[in-house]
Structure 1
Amino acid sequence: MAESTIWWLLAGSVIAVELLTGTFYLLMLSLGLVGGAIAAHLGATVPVQLVVAAVLGGGLVVAWRSYKKHQPPALPAGANRDVNLDVGETLQVDAWNEDGTSTAKYRGAAWNVSLRPGAVSAPGLHRIVEVVGSRLVVEKL
């Protein structure tokens, strides 16, 4: 069996494991194995193929880790617009209770509403910043 065939089989196996586990880092390592296969196709010796696979795979893992480290953390589901489409919508609050809660009409139903910590309790138009159970957490626009 040709050396490049072994590299391609290894790359395919790592991709299969990545599909089962969902670990993106394995995809980066499989790209390193593809680099080893291409080096084998170009006629490189086995030590050079190993170095290419290790440097490429390891470099991609380090690059991906660095990229992920500099991304902002994901919002919790209740405050994430991608998960809950109510986040970012507006509603009218006519009056606030002394404890910072109210009831407001939203989407044709009465909802319990509370203020985001530190927000001002004034009647008017408010934006939904989070949904906690059946309670809307809002802030004044």
Structure 2
Amino acid sequence: MWIWFVVAAIALILELLTGTFFLLLVAVAAAGAGVVTWLGGELAWQLLAFSVLGIAGFFILKSSGLMKRGSRHGASRNTDLNLDIGQMVQVTDWSPINTAEVHYRGAKWQVRLDPAVNGKPAPGGYRIVDIDGIVFIVTPVSERPLTSSSS
């Protein structure tokens, strides 16, 4: 009878260490199975209670929005995680492959033009929109920072 409560306690302790919500579901389901045992239910009813409570908890957790897989662009574009997103840099010279080196926060950084931007980049102000490893992905700030490729 007490095995379900022991499983619930262990899952709850592990939940406090990990911070996911999945072990909390296991703890609640195990505690529910323990209550069924305490009320005199057989093993089949205990397992049914454990399964039903676990699955119901999963769907409740999923519908609550706590299990979202992050923002549409992932962590590299999340301004809450990367404080550099949205900051301005000045590009003085672009390479033929649309990369450059800029001074930002007292150090040299590599930047790359956002692939969604068409045309040849010109020197000027750019905004950091993404981070790819140690390279900033930038887009132009002004309306006309790109020159036409036919010139």
Residue in 2 that maps onto 1:31: 28
The 10-residue stretch of structure 1 (111-120 or 60-69) with the greater mean CA deviation from structure 2: 60-69
1:59 to 2:65 alignment: no
Residue in 1 that maps onto 2:110: 112
TM-score normalised by L of structure 1: 0.64
Q: Where does structure 2 lack aligned partners over 5 or more consecutive residues? A: 142-151
**CA offsets per residue over residues 54-102 of structure 1, 9 Å max, x none?**
31122113444565377656725x5444544323322122443332122
Residue among 89, 94, 110 paired with 1:91: 89
1:75 to 2:74 alignment: yes
Counterpart CA distance in 2 for 1:33 and 1:97 is: 61
Counterpart CA distance in 1 for 2:84 and 2:105 is: 10
Q: Which structure has greater helix proportion?
A: 1
CA contact (8 A) 1:29 1:58 kept: no
Structure 2 counterpart SS, 1:46: coil
- Number of matched pairs: 135
Counterpart CA distance in 2 for 1:18 and 1:74 is: 28
Structure 1 counterpart SS, 2:115: coil
Counterpart CA distance in 2 for 1:34 and 1:74 is: 39
Residue in 1 that maps onto 2:131: 131
TM-score normalised by L of structure 2: 0.61
**CA offsets per residue over residues 5-38 of structure 1, 9 Å max, x none?**
4432221133345567776433212111223345
> Once the two structures are aligned, what percentage of the paired residues are identical?
34
